[in-house]
Chain A
Amino acid sequence: MKIIGIDIGTSGLKMSVYDEQINILKSDSTSYTVQSPRSGVVELDPNIIWKSLKETISRLFLDMPVEEKEYVVSFSFLGDALIVTDEKFNPLMSSILSSDTRSAEYSEIISKQLNKKELYLKTGRIPHSMSILNRLLWFRDNYEEYYKKARWYLDYASWILAKLGFEPATDYSSASGMLFFNINKKRYDDEILSWAKIPEKKLPFLIPSGKYLGNLSDEVKLELGFSLNSEVKVVSGGMDQICNALGTGTVLPNQMVCSIGTVEATTTILPDDIDNKQLFAGNYYRSVSALPDQFVTFSFLWSGGGSLRWYRDTLGYYGKNGKESEGLNRNNLYELLIGEKTKPSKEIFLPYLSGTGPPFWNSLARGAFLGVNLASNEQNFVDAILEGVSYDLRYNLEQLQKAGIEIEKICVVGGGSRSPKWLQIKADIVKKPILRLERQEGGSLGAALLAGYGAGLFDNLTEAAKRVNRINGVFSPSGKYEKIYDKKYNIFKDSYIKLRDINNRISSFLR
């Protein structure tokens, strides 16, 4: 049997084929772009994803051994998108993605009319434009006709299953972003639905991750390019960060994985005795994981690696040396990250180029370079960015610790984890060992674990996940510059507060 893990993300679809021991055999991907015609709007045509899925599968099968007859497939999904369809699951319009902020004003309405704390205790969320509830209310008020006409209000997890011939069902981890899914009872909350006047029959069915759902029909096999005499099992998947956690072996309470990408996101497994009120106080989500009775929380720095990319594109000159035409841009970004860092920089960077994630969830926050002096140069600015992103991580660790989560070490994946310099800065700033993982397949590896589990290849998902990845670099806190990093961290925290009011005003300056 071959396992296929499919990672459906915002910017592309990645597919990997594994053997039964989850060794990777082959990988392929197709990228697509979201539509963002104006600030605040982020849409994606679901048909493009379906088309990419078919194309990627057919490319993967071009040179697969023909004798292979048994497959099992599962998915990692971008979360919190809204797809409205007719009864045949044809989308009525483009899907609206989680970073679309048009429904931001509904947060206040929801918070006013429903008790925010009760809402949190039931759903694990605070009202935000990321949630499906915000999006549905906005959709209802702005596209009344479609809202009424639509047979289904789906997300990618349920829509893809529907397209594969199954019931449109979403897994608990994906449903955790809805703001009307009761994460404790694992069902929709009647009270919230009736307040919002959302008919439950239009919502996806609810299922756990890693559940065997059945086999693909001949018709679908044909459409996707599987041979008719093959057997393709389908297993329910999970939300991308949840799959990523699985694929990095982040399965035990108090474990944290940090993905250093454009967005720097962490996923932390919550201990059973977590005080939810404390989590709520820090505005940290509580989401269902892929494992039974387990919950996780997240942090997001929207412009983590994105800050470096911005720097490169705006001010950077590194390594160009007249070779711009040779497409060295990508490498240039990497060049910023290599090399020795001798000392902490004298500058401080606030990495909030697109607002903050938790605990502030402040979309009006801005980026800043502080402490700038006549001796400040390019390298100092880059170092300040590397530090600033890490101070934000330390802040989140501190908040999570207040809620009773004791994190001893942090596993890292993602593009930024290629930089030993950055990882050492991170370790020194957060004062915890940073463990770089060997396998960087992200969501598709987690999806493969779910697929294998659903197909019965192993009975214990936790154990399988623990074995699947390996550490290939440990960056321990060196204690070097500890005093100065501590002081800079405290200044960093206070700078955010000191600039909050000014940034609010700056945000309305151009309006």
Chain B
Amino acid sequence: MHLLGIDLGTTGTKVVLYDNDGKIISESYSEYSVVTPQSGWVELDPLLIWDAVKNNISKNVKQLKEKKYAMSFSVLGDAVIPIGENNKILYPAMLSADIRSIKYVKQLEEHFGAEYIFKYSGRWSHTMCPLTKILWIRDNMPDIYKNAKQFLDVLSWINLKLGFRPIMDDSSASATLYYDINNREINDEVLEWAKIDSRSLPLVGESGKYLGKLSPKIASELGFPNDSEVEVSLGAMDQLCNALGTGTVEPGDSSCSTGTVECATIILPEKISDEELFSHHFIKVPTAIKNQFANMTVLWTGGGSLKWFRNNFCQEEIKEAEKRGINVYDLIEKGERPISDVFFLPHLAGSGTPWWDSHSKGAFIGLSLATNKKQMIDAVMEGVTFSLNISMKALEKLGLEKKRFAVIGGGSKSEKWNHLKADILNRKVISMIYKEGGALGASILAGYGIGKYKSMEKTSKELAKVEKQYLPNKNNLQQYNRKFDIFKDIYPALKNINHRISELDFSS
């Protein structure tokens, strides 16, 4: 028996093949590109994902003798794909970062009120959410809307392509804004207001739910050896697969993925109430584990802030790194230096959680003639981590225990960044041997669905292997605390200023 963990991301698809004991046999990855036909529109052709899925599965399994497989998916959330007769794709997938539906965000909020929306969906009205995108299609592409049989997300669409009914899991459904996460059903009142037929929406099931076997035709299209038995289980949204893939399974556990976007998933204890979460502008998402919920933090430019700084102000270092054949980030970050008085607000593409302020901007503060580049780089990395700390501190105040804190993603390859997280969050931080947790999480769902794994929690803890642990440096704690105290007041101080900068019209 082999397991396939398949990670469908915004920029590429990765397929990892595991043996019966959960050890990696092989893996394969290929990229595709999103398209931005207009500013604020972010689209992806679903067939590119399908091709990547086929090619990468095939690369891993084509030559094998093994005949028994189980697979599942870790999926980018929030997309909308309108499907017509014969499952024809009527329009490319509108992705999470697509902001064309801004008008409907306000409409929804005005009609139902933020508190009501949060109560059933655990979410805030936002352009990310599929419902606002469907409304945009309704009013702006009436032909497509008329011909659309269904509005799927990537997970339900992939399941459809695999020959199953279009079904998504609770974590994916929670983002739609029409799904009631507590009663696990569609909110009819909202659908009625939106004039959307519930039959046009994907089914919803629990992550790890067994969907069935692939038909021989589809199995062969995906490159499985003849007569293979391929069993498929329902996947989950990427961040929740990350959680599973890092052993983040108990209340108080967190996994933080630092890529371009930095996103942390924090498993919530029951004692933190919806009212408290709402008052802090947090979101509440079902995890892959039954009856468990998590808070998710998002900073759009996490690693992206450092990359921006590198590309614009570190040309010398880039050349030097090329010459010496080393990683440019090593050159930029390395070195012990005192904590500086420079601050960076990492809102280069808006604020993310907990403010959801898309008009916020980035800022360097506290500059003096004595400020140097290394201090500014430190400020960028600190600013990203301080932003995370705002949510962590608030959750701790509400009673969140400090349990496991796992870091993954490209940013977790940086020892400096991991140390910084330990110092600023004032807790032990662990890095994982396998830094892309999504595929591992998906393989756990695959094994759970066929009954190979009895407990997601137990399997997750067994398979997620720790690489290294980072402990807070006592000498830095007090200074970072003081620095954080100042940092947390920067966003409120600049909020109005940034909104005014946002409104500036540069077209004339």
Contacts and interface: CB of A to CB of B under 8 A. Distances in A.
Interface of A: 303, 306, 310, 314-315, 317, 320, 343-344, 346, 348, 353-354, 366-374, 376-378, 481, 483-484, 487-488, 490-491, 494-495, 498-499, 501-503, 505-507, 509-510
B64 interface: no
B341 interface: yes
Contacts of A503: 365-366
Contact of A366 (B367, B372, B497): B367
A372 B367 CA distance: 15
B25 interface: no
27 contacts: A314-B373, A315-B373, A348-B501, A353-B367, A367-B367, A368-B364, A368-B367, A371-B361, A371-B362, A371-B363, A372-B362, A372-B364, A374-B301, A376-B362, A378-B313, A481-B508, A484-B504, A484-B506, A487-B504, A488-B504, A494-B497, A502-B365, A506-B343, A509-B341, A509-B483, A509-B486, A510-B341
A344 B506 CA distance: 8
B493 A502 contact: yes
Contacts of B304: 374
Contacts of B308: 374, 376
Contacts of B376: 314-315
Interface residues on B, range: 35 or more
B227 interface: no
A321 to B, nearest CB: 10
A353 B348 CA distance: 23
B363 A505 contact: no
Interface in B365-382: 365-369, 371-373, 376
A368 B348 CA distance: 15
B196 to A, nearest CB: 34
Contact of B363 (A344, A368, A484, A506): A368
Contact of A370 (B341, B363, B505): B363
B500 interface: yes
A240 to B, nearest CB: 22
A483 B497 contact: no
Contacts of B504: 346, 484, 487-488
A373 B486 contact: no
B362 A505 contact: no
B28 interface: no
B369 A502 contact: no
Contacts of A487: 500, 504
Contact of A498 (B361, B373, B493, B501): B493
A276 B483 CA distance: 43
A372 B362 CA distance: 4
Given A310-B371, A509-B483, 15 more contacts: A303-B369, A317-B315, A346-B504, A353-B367, A366-B366, A367-B367, A368-B365, A370-B361, A373-B362, A377-B312, A487-B500, A491-B500, A494-B497, A495-B494, A499-B494
A310 to B, nearest CB: 6
B328 to A, nearest CB: 14
Contacts of B490: 502
A310 B494 CA distance: 24
Contacts of A505: 486
Contacts of A498: 493-494, 496-497
Given A303-B369, A315-B313, A366-B366, A484 B505 contact: yes
Q: Which of A314, A344, A481 has the most CB of B within 10 A?
A: A314
B498 A370 contact: yes
Contacts of B505: 483-484
A344 B363 CA distance: 18
A344 B501 CA distance: 12
Interface in B331-350: 340-341, 343, 348-349
A193 B471 CA distance: 61
Nearest to A505: B486
B501 A346 contact: yes
Contacts of A354: 368-369
10 smallest CB-CB distances across A and B, nearest first, come from: A372-B362, A367-B367, A371-B501, A506-B366, A369-B364, A315-B313, A317-B315, A371-B361, A374-B348, A509-B341
B339 to A, nearest CB: 8
Interface string B456-477: 0000000000000000000000
A310 B493 contact: no
A353 B369 contact: yes
A343 B506 CA distance: 8
A317 B506 contact: no
A371 B498 contact: yes
Nearest to A487: B504
